[in-house]
Amino acid sequence: MSDLPGKHIVLFICDQMQYMRQGRVDPLARTPNLDALADEGVFFDRFYCSNPQCSPSRMSLQTGLHPHEAGVMVIYGFGGHTGHLGPRHRTIAQVLKEHGYRTAYFGKSHFGYPLEKLGYEKGIERGGGGSLAVVDEEITRDATNFLASYDATEPLFLVISLHQPHPPFESVEPYIRSFDPEQMPIPPSFADDLTGRPEFQRKRRESPGGGVTRQQLRLEMTQYYSMITKVDELFGRVRHALEGRGLWNDSVIAFTSDHGDMMGGHGLRLKGTFPYEELFRVPLIIKAPGVAGGARTASLGVNVSLPRTLMELAGVEVPDDWPNRSVTDVVLRQAEGPEQVFMEHYGAYWGWHPFRMIVTRSYKYVYYYGPDEPAEELYDLQHDPHEERNLAADTTYEDLKHRLKAKLESWWRTTEGRTFTYYESDEFKRIDAATLVDDNELWAFT
């Protein structure tokens, strides 16, 4: 990839933003700066996170590994698990540092390990206490102050990681005034009775804080939109700072989120234990020097592919032992992407419901391998995009289900996936106890 003209790399991450709340998708959304990035880059319509929880997904963005490959399957602290990003992992920052890059990270990490030991020469972490909009202002100020004196002749890898639009949801001024609660769209699946789904989903919806009324949803949606607009504004500030230092045109820029939010889908709220698109489908926009902008792709992708993609687009020689996953050919319009992608979930605040999942261009198949085993879900994403009908028990789809399950199980085996019994053993749960920086309090509400 050395003939590509890229140099600097900027990864901009927000927290808990749905794919469908971008201006390119939703006419109510106000994201002019991200829309401008899409005009200059490639906009992904079917990009997914590896896991709908903070720490596992963020680990994937650093290592190119699926959560079970890295042994980081939950937010450390859940159920006594201590797996976290640490000394047994190799990060994109470490690779780029070896290639002469200066490396910097500003904002939320939730890695459980110091940034400097993960390859970041400069790092300021800021937790999520109080107003997230205020904290994100501080994070952006840290990043732009750093850029103000940066030597543009040195290749830079910069990560800016915001907290918004993660809960607790707030009304961000002045943007909240642009959104009328009465105009907020109720998701088509809001009244889904969850027939044919694992029983825990209905129980979660009926539990305190698990479900949501229409009135509550409309209020939270207006706040969610205002927080996303604030994210967009802060992205614009970073862009302005990059342009001021002459870095923008020579940079590979990526915008994404670690996971989504149910936001009323299937009558549910927040993140957690579900396989639905609201949680797994996330934004991805990539701009790269020498690559024509304004493209939109329906190619499949998962965030484990992003680190290698950024390195390849920047012309970096990727180590042989780095996972061979990227969407570079999609960005360069040289391929349509894979026919299927794989994701997983293990445990969250609301219980242990481990599943692994395959998504193709038309279908989604989910297999539960923990306490809910052998529950399954199968959705026709073309004809049932809101996932209201589980086809797993429909004999008409038996052959398709078996083919998808065979692919899913093959992926699990080849990537050294194990059993629920193993993952609940002390051998696994305490794997990183000796090196864990127990900083969950810093990342309150995450």
How high is the pLDDT of residue 129?
Answer: 81
Q: At what angle do helices 132-148 and 214-244 cross, to 10 degrees?
A: 10
- Concatenating the DSSP letter of every residue in 217-283 gives HHHHHHHHHHHHHHHHHHHHHHHHHHHHTT-STTEEEEEEES----TTGGGB-SSSS---HHHHB--
Cα 77 to its chain centre, rounded Å, is 20
What domains are there in the chain, each with its CATH number? Answer: 8-443 (3.40.720.10)
- Concatenating the DSSP letter of every residue in 335-361 gives ----SEEEEEEEEETTEEEEEEEEEES
What pTM does this model have? Answer: 0.97
Q: Which long-range contacts (CB under 8 A, 24 or more apart) does 148-155 make?
A: 148/241, 148/244, 148/245, 150/102, 150/245, 150/247, 152/245, 152/246, 152/247, 154/100, 154/101, 154/102, 155/7, 155/8, 155/96, 155/99, 155/100, 155/101, 155/102, 155/314
What one-character DSSP code corresponds to residue 414? Answer: H
How high is the pLDDT of residue 439?
Answer: 82
How high is the pLDDT of residue 349?
Answer: 82
How high is the pLDDT of residue 1?
Answer: 41
pLDDT in tens, the chain (446 residues): 444 446 999 999 999 999 999 999 999 999 999 999 999 999 999 999 999 999 999 999 999 999 999 999 999 999 999 999 999 999 999 999 999 999 999 999 999 999 999 999 999 999 988 899 999 999 999 999 999 999 999 999 999 999 999 999 999 999 999 999 999 999 999 999 999 999 999 999 999 989 999 999 999 999 999 999 999 999 999 999 999 999 999 999 999 999 999 999 999 999 878 999 999 999 999 999 999 999 999 999 999 999 999 999 999 999 999 999 999 999 999 988 899 999 999 998 889 999 999 999 999 999 999 999 999 999 999 999 999 999 999 999 999 999 999 999 999 999 999 999 999 999 999 999 999 998 877 876 66
What one-character DSSP code corresponds to residue 181? Answer: G
Cis-peptide into 354, omega within 30 deg: no
How high is the pLDDT of residue 2?
Answer: 40
